[in-house]
Amino acid sequence: MKKKTIQILIIDDDDIDRENYHRLLHQTQLKSIKISQEACGKDGLKAILKNSFDIILLDQNLPDMTGLSILKEMSAHFHTDMPPVIIITGQGNTEVDLEAMKLGAVDYLIKGEINASILGRSIRYSLKNKEREVELQKKEKFLRFTLDSINECVIATDKKGDIIRMNKSAEKFTGFNIAEVFKQPIESVFHILDFKSKNIIPCNFDSMLNTIDRGTSFEKVILQSKDNFEYYINYRVSVIKDNSENTKGLVLVFNDITEQHEIELHFQQVQKLDVLGELASGIVHDFNNVLSVILGTSGLLRRRLKDDEKSLELANSIADASRTANGLTKRLLSFVRNEEQSFTIVEIFHSITNALNIIKKSLNDNITIEATHSGDSINILGESSLIENAIINLGFNARDAMSDGGQILIKTSLIEQEPTFLKNNETKLINHSQNSPNYKIDNKRYVEITVSDTGIGIKEENIEKIFDPFFTTKELEQGTGLGLSSVFRIVNEHMGDISVTSQVGEGTTFTIKLPILVSPNI
């Protein structure tokens, strides 16, 4: 195999020195060399940037620029792929020599002390050093590609806890890239919170080591990215050690488990709803027994009060309310048990008006309530008692948030936009088209119902939990934590969407979006 010709560039303004280096190069044991020469710094730099040289012999004292200036230009241009430079000084200036080495020179020689043996040895050393450097760069590149090819996020630090490596996955989830955080402390990038308390977890080098010592090197936490996005992650920490078991740094590995976390939450909610179904079954049975007594008693009262018109009207109201409550509890039990619902056409504002009348009777004088609507008759496919129950629950919730008084506003609007929330209810849409072929869902409009109050508001950390079964911030005797979870499920059963916005001290608004019917296909 033919050996590669070694390309050598001499940059020196002295003709005699250049001839001397040329002669010495041919006296070395180097084979197959090609020598180029430049007499000034600018021409030498142009040649370096234009051509590919294996070795550069660079004089420090040139008439137009110094050897150090050329090294700085080369360092900025080549970065990690700079050709080997041997700096030549006139008097062996130590400060110049050290600065040259910092800028990337591989060796330095002193004029007047150079012979063929010294020059040959320096060149062979420089070439060998370059080979090792190239090999290390290949290994570094392979390691980088390997780390970037795995889904796990990897961050490595030195023994001070400063970042020296990050793979692409880690950059994606932290929001930082290695260039901006290289040699920065690990805690400047890895911001984590306890997933229950949301308290900040210290992540400096010492705390990471303590995590390993405690045997808890694998934890579920919340990662906050540079852009304040939050991800649920699992992470583990390992110590980097050399052959002598000396600590050289840490390697942090973490995985995004946000989707898994959401699945777990959904499963927990399903379990709670199953418990809710069993609980509701028992409550309905006991409650219906109570209603039977009320109905029987109201019947006796009506017979005794048949000549007292005003009292008879009150007794009839008790009987009617009891029968309504009896029917509602049965339908709610069927709903909670996931039994098939028999939906019909429901005029939405009629249901809201019925709910409004019930809410009004529960309000103190310091609370006002108002309902507005667009004026149009809006029909949905559903169960009127369930819709009324949802509005009543939201109304009672608003009432309980205003112990010092305030205002409740229920607003119904027809929104002339595509009901995009239906994309989350494709299965129910298919069932609807099969079970109710005569009713067509409007794909261009939907109804929006907002229930607003001027109460105490909801704390930000509780917003995501308010629809969970059994979650409540009320005292035990004031709330069960089932009202809003019931509302959520009713809305979901009607292929709708519910959201909430709140400001502590100012009030809360619940927004329900429901699909509407075009008209029956007769």
Q: Which tokens in the block code for residue 28?
A: 């070395």
Domain-terminating residue out of 240, 256, 272: 256
- Determine the average pLDDT of the residues in 102-109: 88
Q: Which tokens in the block code for residue 350?
A: 């009629």
Residues 222 and 112 in one domain: no
Torsion angle of C-alpha atoms 443, 444, 446, 452, degrees rounded to 10: 140
- Residue-wise pLDDT for 223-252, tens only, equals 988 888 888 888 888 888 888 888 888 888
Residues 56 and 198 in one domain: no
Q: What is the domain count for the chain?
A: 4
**1 in a structural domain:** no
Residues 139 and 180 in one domain: no
Which residue range(s) make up the domain with 324? 259-339
- Residue-wise pLDDT for 472-481, tens only, equals 766 545 555 6
Write the CB contacts of 26 (distance below 8 Å, at least 6 apart in sequence): 33
pLDDT over 80 (residue 374): no
467: nearest Cα among 231, 203, 269: 269
Residues 193 and 134 in one domain: no
**391 in a structural domain:** yes
Residues 335 and 230 in one domain: no
**103 in a structural domain:** yes
| SS3 state of residue 245 | coil
> For 79-215, where are the alpha helices, taking DSSP H only?
94-102, 116-148, 168-174, 178-181, 205-213
* pTM of this prediction exceeds 0.95: no
- Residue-wise pLDDT for 116-130, tens only, equals 999 999 999 988 988
Cα gap 449→465, rounded to integer Å: 21
Residues 329 and 242 in one domain: no
Domain-terminating residue out of 87, 121, 145: 145
Residues 160 and 54 in one domain: no
- Determine the average pLDDT of the residues in 134-146: 81
Residues 108 and 127 in one domain: yes
Band of the pLDDT at 512, cuts 50, 70, 90? Answer: very high
Residues 24 and 52 in one domain: yes
Which DSSP symbol is given to 84? P
Residues 104 and 162 in one domain: no
359: nearest Cα among 334, 337, 389, 386: 389
pLDDT number for residue 432: 59
The angle that helices 384-400 and 483-493 make with each other, rounded to 10 degrees, is 150
Residues 335 and 346 in one domain: no
**247 in a structural domain:** yes
pLDDT number for residue 1: 46
Mean pLDDT of the chain: 83
Q: What CATH number corresponds to the domain at position 450? A: 3.30.565.10
